[in-house]
Amino acid sequence: MRFFNLKHQQVMCSLLLLSFLSMVPAPVGAQDEHASSETIEQLLNTEVATVTGASKYQQELTDAPASVSIITYDEIRKGGFRNLAETLNSVRGFYTTNIRTFHNIGVRGFSPLGDSNTRILLLLDGHRLNDGLFEAAPLGNDFPVDMDLIDRIEIIRGPGSSLYGTNAFLAVVNVITRSGKDIRGGELSASAGSFNAVAGRATSGGKVAVDVDLLISGSYRDAAGRKRLFFPEYAGINNGIAQGLDSEKSFDLLSKIVWKDFSLLLLYEKRDRDVPTAPYKTIFNDSRQTIGEHHALAGLSFNHSTGWADLSARLTYNRYEVDNDYPFAGSLNRDDNLGEWIGSDLFVSKGFSDHLVTVGMEHRWQFTERMHNFDVLPPSDILTANHHSLVQGYYLQDEYHILKELILNAGLRIDHYETFGSTTNPRAALIWKPQNTTVLRLTYGEAFRAPNAYEQFYDDGSTQKGNLGLRPEKVRTVEAGWDQFIGENLRTGASCFYTRISDLLEQVADTDTLLVYRNQNRVESKGVELQAEGKWESGFSGRMSYSYQDSVYLGPRRPVANSPHTLLKGALTAPLPMKKSFVTIESVYTGSRLNARGETIDGAAIFNLTLLNRGLLKGLDLSASLYNVLDTHYSAPSGPEHGILQEIPQDGITFRLKATYRF
């Protein structure tokens, strides 16, 4: 059901744009005397009033050239979020699609079914985490960092290729981890929940020498999942029940060493997942279908400030290996794929007069793009391919303070690929603060997503073939935003956006019936977002957001699959009479969506509840969470890989109990 039709949307956008022209500073006598003496950052009254990912340097949140949301460590604990996807699902304009193997994230009405988060750039302490084979961002249970180790998450909406190149198409998510000084000793954490889910973590951190800060942590997760998943489309096989095929195990290791201006991040994750949905025409209810992932990252950073300029450099090694088994009639097929790359990013920021100029360059040598497919039984080699490529990017950005209350942030990046050539992507934002309590922002940006190795080179000769002639996707976005601070505790905002995507990469059947990726379609998205959030010294905090979005294919106009028109979200945290105790109630409504076959999948409203106590015993945190409190029955839309399935059932009411001890 649509809450707003297109006419209403256009009216709201017109009103918002009109506010940019009509909003002028009020006469001094008309302003509240107390408010006029406060800065916007003081009025924000939040734990984090700065962002680093929007411009690659730390800046005030209200000066960022994009719409930014920040989720803090405290909010993660109080919200009971179990993975990164749940956290992002609480944020304005974002929504998830859980296909019971991966969580795919949509942004502002766009999340193509069958995609694996290739249009979101995921950074970990500034290091690119998207893999080098599919260029996918691990945003669900495959995210290789325990949620307790996150200091904050910066969500930067809109095109970001002017600084980051490919994958920064719809948004950039920068996850910043905690340091050893945040731990100052040790932490032990354990949790248990529905479907025999257990998890544990051991962390140690602190100063180990003069100017040396160390954090080391290991985590383990094991969940049996639902014993019985019913898919009516497979009623003729085991009565449509996937029996005991929803389990998942993973463990990860993280180490972070900081010495003066240097920081070394080491990360490893191993994940094994059963597959209950029988994708790619495999045998339904066959326990041999599994996903195995290994993800490793080593990142070295250098940040140094001098009286002349600020110098930053990053060197990253990323390794992603996947082993997937596919049971077919008479055979067991396996993918054994590996992607490895080494990347460097060097940039300098220098301020002079009213300008802050950033100049940088990025290189990424993707030296392993191995795709190997073979039949285990009977033994037969089907595909063996290995490629390599070099990516170069050069960028320039200027933050120009035209007036004290007026900022122009403009940037440009040129990327060169060996496969298709060069692409140029600009971004510009005009930020106006007519009053101490008002921020108006008008932005324009372009971004691209380069075709990945899988789309270009995967060719098994029987079902799919590669395409060396692919071009990058392109997106152009215009957005107008208005943030209004009311008193010292409340922040409200509104924005409208218009996005156009061209040369969209989609998998289609060729004349020889083989599947192939082609630059197929153009997409247009429009939307309006409203939000309000507040935080009070008493311990109360809350947020609400409403998003209306409309995404259609251009040409023969038709709706885009997996694109809900309406997102409505809210959360309230309140202190309890028991000392250092809080209760958080969260609600998320996601409107109806289309699956890959054009069928409507009903929307649903989900309510979650978390109780947190931090003072029952010294150093002990206890929490209890209920998810989907009303036991709502709902589903996610199925993608083209799921064949005859119409929808993927989601979990009903579940719980988690968690204890963390600090010493």
At 147-206, the pLDDT tens digits run 999 999 999 999 999 999 999 999 999 999 999 999 999 999 999 999 999 999 999 999
Check residue 26 and give its pLDDT: 36
629 in any annotated domain = yes
Check residue 507 and give its pLDDT: 84
Please tell me the total number of residues recorded for the chain in this structure: 663
CB atoms within 10 A of CB 238: 13
1 in any annotated domain = no
pLDDT confidence of 567, banded at 50, 70, 90?
A: very high
pLDDT higher than threshold 70 for residue 351 = yes
- Amino acid in the structure at residue 3: F
Range of the domain at 154: 6-662
Report CA 45 to chain centroid distance, whole Å: 25
Check residue 160 and give its pLDDT: 98
Percent of the chain with pLDDT over 70: 93
Residue owning tokens 């989720």: 71
Report CA 34 to chain centroid distance, whole Å: 39
Check residue 36 and give its pLDDT: 37
628 in any annotated domain = yes
Percent of the chain with pLDDT over 90: 85
Cβ-contact 428, 480 below 8 angstroms:
no
Report CA 346 to chain centroid distance, whole Å: 24
Residues 506-513, mean pLDDT to the nearest whole number: 85
| CA distances to 74, 458, 532 from 535, in Å | 12, 51, 11
pLDDT confidence of 274, banded at 50, 70, 90?
A: very high
Residues 536-560, mean pLDDT to the nearest whole number: 94
pLDDT higher than threshold 70 for residue 267 = yes
pLDDT higher than threshold 90 for residue 491 = yes
Nearest alpha-carbon partner for 481 in 56, 60, 64, 151: 64
pLDDT higher than threshold 90 for residue 22 = no
Residues 609-623, mean pLDDT to the nearest whole number: 93
Positive or negative, the CA dihedral 622, 182, 50, 39 is: positive
pLDDT higher than threshold 90 for residue 28 = no
pLDDT higher than threshold 90 for residue 27 = no
Check residue 11 and give its pLDDT: 38
pLDDT higher than threshold 60 for residue 365 = yes
User: Using CA atoms, how far apart are residues 89 and 606, in angstroms rounded to an integer?
Assistant: 11
Tally of structural domains, the chain: 1
11 in any annotated domain = yes
Report CA 191 to chain centroid distance, whole Å: 24
Note the pLDDT tens digit of each residue in 89-146: 999 999 999 999 999 999 999 999 989 999 999 999 999 999 999 999 999 999 999 9
Q: Over the range 344-376, which residues count as b (16 or more CB within 10 Å of their CB) and which as e?
A: ebebebeeeeeebbbebebebbbebbbbbbbbe
| Residue 652, both tokens | 């009903």
Average pLDDT for the chain? 92
pLDDT higher than threshold 90 for residue 17 = no
Residues 9-36, mean pLDDT to the nearest whole number: 36
pLDDT higher than threshold 60 for residue 42 = no
Check residue 43 and give its pLDDT: 41
| CA distances to 106, 196, 567 from 92, in Å | 11, 32, 8
Residues 593-611, mean pLDDT to the nearest whole number: 96
- The CATH number of whichever domain residue 469 belongs to comes to 2.40.170.20
